[in-house]
Amino acid sequence: MMSYLKKYWCWCVLAPVFMMGEITMDLLQPDLMANIVDNGVLKHNMSLILYVGIRMIFLVMFGGICGFLSGWASNIAGQNFGNDLRKDLFSKIMNLSFQQIDKISTGSLVTRLTNDVTQVQNMVMLAVRGLVRSSIMFVGGIFMLYKQSPKFAFIAIMAFPFVIFFVWFFTRKASPMFATVQQKIDGINNVMQENIAGARVVKAYVKEDYELQRFETANNELKDISLNVQSLLAFMGPCMNIILNLCVVAIILIGGIEVKNNGEITTGEIMAAITYIAMILMSIMFMANIFQTFIRAKASADRINEVLKCENIICDGNMTELPKTHGEIEFRNVCFAYPNSSNRAVLENINLKINSGETLAILGATGSGKSTLVNLIPRFYDVSSGEILLNGINVKEYNLKNLRDKVSIVLQKAELYSRSIEENIKWGKKDATPWEIKEAAQIAQADNFICATNNGYYTHVSEGGHSLSGGQKQRISIARALLKKVEVLIFDDSTSALDLQTEANLYKALNEKFPKTTKIIIAQRIASVRGADRIVVMDNGKIAACGTHDELLQTSEIYKDIYYSQLKKE
């Protein structure tokens, strides 16, 4: 991740440079205070007290300015580092395949994009200042202490191994827990996401108490592990204070003996020595805090790198020449099994050719592989074996953007965003004119209800489209897909919420306005598919039959069963 800091190396250099100025001023203060005590207070020299006191004030002001500039530079470096890392991570997440997203989980990705990046960013901001601060304070404190008396410096050196032991012991115990803390945050985010997205289902089934219990369990797990970490680290402070106080006692004892015996050490020097020993030990504690932050940030950095270093499973092809055909699709011996599904085949030996401009309907029982089949065309997943050709070229050879620009897919669950109806429709084509948007809405049978709203196309849609009915959301999604004017149009059970008359008007308008577009319609209702050029009947991942409505009534027992069961219901 150091590559993200290279662009901001200047600020990374300035921050410690300014910090050196601040620490230098801090190191001078005890020595000046000793001068005031020994030569001013004890000798009643008021002019020296004023002179040295004014110097101290100016040095403190200068140190404060240096500290401010150091913080300013480190914040610029850290915030820009976090901004770049967060953008790259989000970009990577957007390019992950469905297979990779399913493996990591959405809640975990949210944690990595927010909390984990923040942890690493804080570490960078602390490191560019704190490492220099603690190092100079430690070395400078030892030097200034040695100036006061070599014996005082010896006391600090004797205490150093004990401090290092405590730092090592506590951080070694705490470091494995930090990765667990981030995983527990993942768990909370997963519960939160599921409940916010499925709030209506939770309320409909009166499962608030159950979900509260799930959240409480996840939250308690996070609390417990966080409490364990903080409780462990809380012992380090008292241990450091014990060492500090022992050093202070030793300095007072030795200093008192020296003052009594030969007077080589003054009262002011003893006071300065106590301050310097405190600085030295505090610098070690500060270094320990940096180390803790580093360990926690490393756990977060590992989780971020896990995403950043994910190799793209769905890769771009190298095709540069555009094919001459338009919207022709062919499945050749296609087999597919979802990853981590024990290699259970969802599709087996699919051979199917869809001609340019043809309307092909796909019918079958739930779980027969209908949606999986069409999801392979825009490469949401790649086939396990066999190949899919678009315009005579394997879809794997296409650039992903070019491939998906040729295909529009409308899902059964309409995904709308918290913005106006117009913005939702033109989401797939940002440069669309108002007339193009209205025309797409008219074909999708959405124009009438849109115009009936108070603000028409500027009506704001609530998050998730909850302010609209299921049929309205589906029609807006269809209008969005039509606006792209693609070669292949896929309706994945996306008219299930429409009444039969509206659906019939939609298909009639589609045939009139998009005669050359290849249309694939997945549906559960015979009424939705009977007008298609051909109908494919899926059964257990295989093509059981293919033909027109009339042909299938004569040749396919599965189709006849579906037809007569729905006819009886009607």
Q: What is the mean pLDDT of each run of 10 residues along the chain (570 residues)?
A: 81 88 86 82 82 88 91 90 90 82 79 87 85 83 80 80 79 76 81 74 78 87 84 76 80 76 72 81 77 80 86 76 76 87 81 93 88 90 91 88 88 84 88 91 91 89 80 91 90 87 90 91 88 91 91 90 74
Residues 423 and 565 in one domain: yes
- Per-residue b/e over 227-247, b at no fewer than 16 CB within 10 Å? eebeeebeebeebbeebbeeb
537 vs 18: CA distance, rounded Å: 74
pLDDT tens-digit map of 439-492: 999 999 999 999 988 889 899 888 777 778 888 899 999 999 999 888 999 999
Residues 266 and 411 in one domain: no
Domain endpoint, select from 288, 308, 328: 308
Cα atoms in the Cβ-side hemisphere of radius 13 Å centred on 462: 5
Sheet holding 488-492, edge to edge: 407-410, 488-492, 518-522, 359-364, 534-539, 542-547
What is the CATH number for 182?
1.20.1560.10
Q: Helical H runs in 456-525?
A: 470-483, 500-513
Tokens of 79: 């915030």
Distances (CA, A) of 262 to 243, 255, 265, 294: 28, 11, 8, 48
Strand 488-492 relative to strand 518-522, pairing: parallel
Range of the domain at 509: 358-365+398-569
280 vs 283: CA distance, rounded Å: 5
Residue 493 falls within a domain, yes or no?
yes
Residues 270 and 171 in one domain: yes
Phi-psi region of 349 (alpha: psi -120 to 50; beta: other; left: phi over 0): left
Domain endpoint, select from 308, 329, 345: 308
Residues 434 and 537 in one domain: yes
Amino acid code (one letter) for 49 = I
Handedness of CA 193, 490, 537, 528 (dihedral sign): positive
Residues 280 and 420 in one domain: no
Residue 316 falls within a domain, yes or no?
no
DSSP SS3 for 484? coil
H or E stretch at 404: helix 400-405
Q: Which residues contact 231 (CB under 8 A, 6 or more apart)?
A: none
Cα atoms in the Cβ-side hemisphere of radius 13 Å centred on 131: 13
Residue 509 falls within a domain, yes or no?
yes
**How many domains in the chain?**
2
DSSP category for residue 418: S
Q: Helical H runs in 116-266?
A: 117-148, 150-197, 199-204, 208-234, 236-261
218 vs 359: CA distance, rounded Å: 49
50 vs 58: CA distance, rounded Å: 12
Q: What is the pLDDT of residue 517?
A: 92
Residue 349 falls within a domain, yes or no?
no
367 vs 539: CA distance, rounded Å: 9
85 vs 98: CA distance, rounded Å: 22
Q: What is the pLDDT of residue 568?
A: 57
413 vs 493: CA distance, rounded Å: 9
Sheet holding 347-354, edge to edge: 347-354, 329-336, 385-390, 393-394
Query: pTM of whole model > 0.85?
Result: no
Residues 298 and 447 in one domain: no
What is the CATH number for 447?
3.40.50.300
Q: Which residues contact 89 (CB under 8 A, 6 or more apart)?
A: 112, 113, 117, 304, 307, 308
Residue 387 falls within a domain, yes or no?
no
22 vs 267: CA distance, rounded Å: 26
pLDDT tens-digit map of 435-453: 999 999 999 999 999 998 8
How many angstroms separate the first and last alpha carbons of the chain? 63
549 vs 561: CA distance, rounded Å: 13
DSSP SS3 for 408? strand
- The overall longest dimension of the chain from CA atoms, in Å, is 120
Residues 303 and 169 in one domain: yes
44 vs 49: CA distance, rounded Å: 9
CB of 273 within 8 A of CB of 249? no
Residue 212 falls within a domain, yes or no?
yes
Q: What is the pLDDT of residue 569?
A: 52
Q: What is the pLDDT of residue 206?
A: 78
354 vs 347: CA distance, rounded Å: 17
H or E stretch at 473: helix 470-483
Residues 259 and 129 in one domain: yes
Strand 518-522 relative to strand 347-354, pairing: unpaired
Residues 242 and 110 in one domain: yes
Residues 212 and 80 in one domain: yes
What Rg value do the Cα atoms of the chain yield, rounded? Answer: 35
Amino acid code (one letter) for 40 = G
Residue 407 falls within a domain, yes or no?
yes
Residues 436 and 300 in one domain: no
Residue tagged 């409909």 (tokens) = 204
Residue 165 falls within a domain, yes or no?
yes
